[in-house]
Amino acid sequence: MNALGYVHSVETFGTLDGPGIRYVIFLQGCPLRCKYCHNPDTWAFQEGRKMYSTDVVSDVLRYKNYIKTGGVTVSGGEPLLQPDFVAEILKLCHNNGIHTCIDTSGIIPVEKCKNAVDEADLLLLDIKHIDTEKCKELTGQGNENALKLLDYCQQQGKDVWIRYVLVPGLTDDKESLERTAQYLSGFSVIKKTEILPFHKMGEFKWKQLGLEYTLKDTFEPAKDSINEAKGIFARYGLV
């Protein structure tokens, strides 16, 4: 099937979205409204460029020699909002011997996106907050679907890298970090955990879109705070 989807942009030499050098496809559309989002221009679903899965992969193949140490990562926005499109892209990549990865918030119910998840070699899964009510305050929705997706990956033996954004005053308190690390330590499919320091490099986009950026007075986390968070996760075997 030659699926049609909405693409925001691509990065042909990505080094921060999975192992090795990767071709990263950022899809349009996201149901979350994370306070620290640095790509609010990806929120509106149909504002992206319409592309067929075959055309996406045709461009990927132009860079196959460069990404042979890595592969392809489909990101967003929220890529699993377009599961059929993602599944076809990953399937075509596999047909050409290319490693595949999905970078997701896990907000889409797993029963609606299994076809895409099953095609991926690796998932980069954001855990926004271990407390679902605080997750709602931070993103607009709870964490139930993300945790269910992690359960599904455990059942299927699907490799997962966890991403946790460290936001001062919101996600950096010791209790939340301990609870998160303790919870995640029970999953054998988690191969890596990345602590991502909050930054405000996307603040200008909020202004351009006429949106209120509520974290304008929030500072980036101090090095000691980052090291403390990493230490807590390391004590639970999450590195």
Whether the per-residue pLDDT at 201 is higher than 80: the answer is: yes
Task: Give the domain 4-235 fold.
Answer: TIM Barrel (3.20.20)
Nearest to 71 by CA among 50, 57, 55, 54: 57
Angle CA 196–131–38, to nearest 5: 35
Total Cβ atoms within 10 A of residue 226: 17
Which pTM value belongs to this model?
0.96
CA proximity to 22, closest of 116, 100, 88: 100
Specify the DSSP class assigned to residue 25: E
Q: Would you place residue 46 in the very low, low, confident or very high pLDDT band (cuts 50, 70, 90)?
A: confident
The phi and psi torsions of 193 (rounded to 5 degrees) equal -130, 130
**What does the pLDDT look like over 130-164, one tens digit per residue?**
999 999 999 999 999 999 999 999 999 999 999 99
pLDDT of residue 45: 86
- Listed in sequence order, the DSSP H helices in the chain are 53-61, 83-95, 114-119, 132-139, 144-156, 174-184, 203-208, 223-235
Cα–Cα distance, 35 to 39 (Å, whole number): 11
Averaged pLDDT, 204-213: 95
Q: Where are the domains of the chain?
A: 4-235
Assess contact for 6 and 25: CB atoms under 8 A: no
What value does the mean pLDDT take over residues 103-129?
A: 98
